[in-house]
Chain A
Amino acid sequence: EITLTQSPATVSVSPGESVTLSCRASRNLNNYVAWYQQKVGQAPRLLIFGASTRAVGVPVRFSGGGSGTEFTLTISSLQSEDFGIYYCQQYNNWPPPWTFGQGTKVEVK
């Protein structure tokens, strides 16, 4: 089973600033990485798949990057609605399980 380690656990950011979140995998993921945003009391929302492809309706201020075992999610010019917890997910290895990182909380500074 592939392990995903996200860092930092929590980051404090002011609205308008940019932030980069990290996701490190225990094995090569061949870019089969997705990112989700979750707000309190809601299901996760898909933001990015294939390491860098934005899902439908996701603002361009969200961008994914990286390759191999190191991946990033950058949020440019944070808006108030962007605060929440962000998870990475891998879907590279067959057979499953598909696994998730433990999350990074983006909070208001």
Chain B
Amino acid sequence: QVQLQESGPGLVRPSGTLSLTCVVSGGSMITDNWWSWLRQSPDKGLEWIGEIFHSGSTNFNPSLRSRLTMSMDRSRNQFSMNLTSVTAADTAIYYCARGEGIVLMVYGLWGPGHLVTVSS
């Protein structure tokens, strides 16, 4: 049974970089699925951040594209995101999730979520 688990700092300073990793356990990442990041905050609700395929292809939310990178470590079965120049508006619960298919961009598998606070 595939499971996802986010990890990373819970507090990031303003103007710093938010770095998160999602470990995939119980199955391979080399599948016909997009591996995604989403976040949730009281102000913005649920927001799709971006996704990465095992080939390395990525798609990003245009509102975050200039600050966002994603990568995948197939040997460790994990994928990561980096968001630079963070502000308080980036405070949110961050989720990693698996898209259900190459074109079926709904999320049937989620990590438990990781709260990131941007504050000095």
Contact = CB atoms under 8 A, between A and B. Distances in A.
Contacts of B105: 91, 96, 98
Contacts, number: 53
Nearest to B50: A96
B47 interface: yes
Contact of A100 (B47, B50, B108): B47
Interface stretch (B7-15, B78-86, B110-118): B110-118
28 contacts: A1-B62, A34-B106, A36-B107, A43-B95, A43-B112, A43-B113, A44-B46, A46-B100, A46-B106, A46-B108, A56-B108, A89-B46, A91-B104, A91-B106, A95-B59, A96-B48, A96-B61, A96-B105, A97-B48, A97-B61, A97-B63, A98-B48, A98-B105, A99-B48, A100-B46, A100-B47, A100-B48, A101-B45
Interface of B: 45-48, 50-51, 59-63, 95, 97, 100, 104-108, 110-113
